Amino acid sequence: MIDRYQTPEMASVWSDTARMSRWLEVELLATEAHAALGVVPDSDAVACRASAPVVDDSFVSLVSAREEVTQHDVAAFVDVVQDAIGGTAGPWIHYGLTSTDVVDTGLCWAMRDAADLMLAATDELIEQLVVTANAHRDTVMIGRTHGVHAEPTTFGAKVALWALQFDRDRRRLRAAREGIAVMKLSGAVGTYSNVPPEVEAHVGKALDLQPVPATQVIARDRHAEFLWACASIAASCELVAVELRHLQRTEVSEVREGFAQGQKGSSAMPHKRNPISAETISGLSRVVRSNLLAGLQDVALWHERDISHSSVERVILPDSSMLVHYMLRRLRRLIERLEVDAERMEANLQSSFGVVFSQPVLLALVASGLTRDDAYRIVQRNAMDAWEHRRPFKDVLAEDQEVMAREPAIDLDAAFDLRSSLQHVSATFAHLNSL
């Protein structure tokens, strides 16, 4: 992942030093477990821990140089670790294990930690969305379907639905975290032929990872579920971003991204204030979603394993978690700094001459005894008249005898009552405030 879209915390999870530190801890724990079973001398297990190399940039460089010879990253890692420990203890490193025991356990450990960071960022975003939703609970705006004025809503209700969607994403991510917080040290084809299950159990307990049945590799449906949770969050981020981009268009101008002192929107046009955060989020979501397809294709491997998944995962697992963490952080800041123009929202609502109250009028005519189709045609005709002649819809209706001669009389004031249209918005907030 390029530096531009990294967060320091997530970059640390996926760094080479972190990866090899995890490998080393797995190796040391396995050696200690073998010692507890009497396979490895206690003194050698102690020496392995005491003489283990520090995993830093210099160590990573040594492994990379050794890999030029071995053409195998884990074999190179084991060589360097054994050389650093030396003596009679060094050869016990990697005893009975296959490379994927170490790699898959370390990878699941990394994904679990990545999930924890994403969960914390999701919590922060939801908290901000709840604050913003409640602040704009009564900020009236026009709802739109197909990009066209529909009926009144509030900006707070819109944001509340976003918060509820991210809560569902949070639950998906928690489930994916549980599914990926696993490990295996069961050998070349998963039969424990050269390493007893007690070793696996010891290491799993120490790392708080659940041992699971496996072939040489942990089944990749778990990794695909992790990527699905990432893709779902990315899709929700884009849902919000696309809406904010539309609402910031000059013709709408109901919200604006915060604009910092000294910021420039365009190198050529000084008047520009562009929705750059929302556009960045929209773009990055495409990358995360595409990674899910690659992850699903990694599920089907040959027999007990092949490495067709390996090169893919080196890219998509770090990149997806890094991008999602970045997007969640950036979206939270966007919402926190969002400028909401309540006056413009009200003006836009009024700009369609009141035709947005067509349904209450329709229902009033039906209640007066008309068939629904007859009532619909009357209201539709008058709404089109109002729009074409730029006249208040209420005035047009008041001049229509088919409407005004109904018994019981049609109460146009009630039909055009904005408070009545929004009287049950509290139902959405009852769900929001239960989060």
Which sequence positions are flagged as catalytic? 146, 266
Amino acid at 130: V
Burial of 236 (0-12, 13-18, 19+ CB in 10 A): buried
Burial 374-410 (b: 16+ CB within 10 A, else e): ebeebbeebbebbeeeeeebbebbeeeeebeebeeeb
Q: Phi and psi dihedrals of 64, rounded to 5?
A: -60, -40
Q: Phi and psi dihedrals of 400, rounded to 5?
A: -95, 115
Give residue 302's region: left, alpha or beta (phi > 0; psi -120 to 50).
Answer: beta
As a whole number of angstroms, the distance between CA 389 and CA 178 comes to 61
As a whole number of angstroms, the distance between CA 238 and CA 19 comes to 31
DSSP character at residue 142: E
* Nearest to 155, CA basis, from 420, 338, 357, 415: 338
Question: With contact defined as beta carbons under 8 Å apart, do 144 and 150 qualify?
Answer: yes
255: tokens are 């919200």
Amino acid at 335: I
CA 174 from chain centre, in angstroms, equals 12
Question: With contact defined as beta carbons under 8 Å apart, do 157 and 142 qualify?
Answer: no
